[in-house]
Amino acid sequence: MEQATVENVQLLPAKNDDHGGVVVELEEHMDSDVFLTLLKTSLSQWTMQGKKGVWIKIPIRLVNLVEPAVKEGFCYHHAESDYVMLVKWIPETTSTIPANASHRVGVGAVVLNHKREMLVVQEKNGPLRGKGIWKVPTGIVDVGEDICTGAIREVKEETGIDTEFVEVLAFRQWHKSFFEKSDLFFVCMMRPLSFDIQIQEVEIEAAKWMPLEEVAAQPFAQKESLLRYITDLCIAKVERDYSGFSPLPVTSGVIYLNKRDLN
């Protein structure tokens, strides 16, 4: 993105967004004083043009530009490992800039074999470490990864078992779970394609195939816990043909729905 000029006046390199604002992506090294001059000139121009939100993406190598931007009224919106995103609302109206991502997405993989045994693990880390509790493989979905793909990956990483995604049985929303962010946790039904367990020794203490009734009989699973509802859902699926939500590709991603009762 080339540096823009308006009537021979230099502006910061920017492109229009879809909401009446502009996005600045800085790439080349720039002195703080030079940046501040360009920023003030650009803000004046964007104000005259009726622009609304101004986004500035600053790579970590240009961190010297953060302070002058903040002094001009920009605030932090979000940060990643290699950049920080700053934003400023220009009009004297209520800002409509959306907040940073409010949730992270987790998956729990329910894998049942033909013997009505569930694939369960004991973790080396986390709140259940050392408590002898057997639970389903769980993990966080990666950026750009579908829920169904994330569930397959987590099972493979933790236990070495290959699986096929069947459906989402249920999901849970939990607030203030990770740096004040909320958490969406999807309980996923999986079909095993292999059966020989090879644990991920860094995170997993043990893994095995365990009769569903034994998993449900654990004292922890008898309490008002997520594990209790997971085992209840498994029994409902096996014995009463409980129907969850299956993935269907659409132009904007993947929609999860009850295919059986759709028509």
The residues carrying an active-site annotation are 157
Task: State how far the Cα of 118 lies from the Cα of 29, in Å rounded to an integer.
Answer: 55
Of 103, 78, 98, 106, residue with least CA distance to 182? 103
* Cβ–Cβ < 8 Å for 212, 112: yes
Closest of 168, 187, 147 to residue 244, by C-alpha: 168
The Cα–Cα gap between 211 and 139 comes to: 23
SS3 (DSSP) at 78: strand
Coil/strand/helix, residue 55: strand
Name the nearest CA neighbour of 246 among 234, 260, 232, 233. Answer: 260
Residue 108 near residue 138, CB atoms below 8 Å: yes
Phi, psi of 62 (to 5 degrees): -110, 35
Which structure tokens are listed for 10? 């230099």
- Name every residue whose Cβ is closer than 8 Å to that of residue 179 and which is 6 or more positions away in sequence: none
DSSP structure string for 172-204: EEEEEEETTEEEEEEEEEEEES-------TTTE
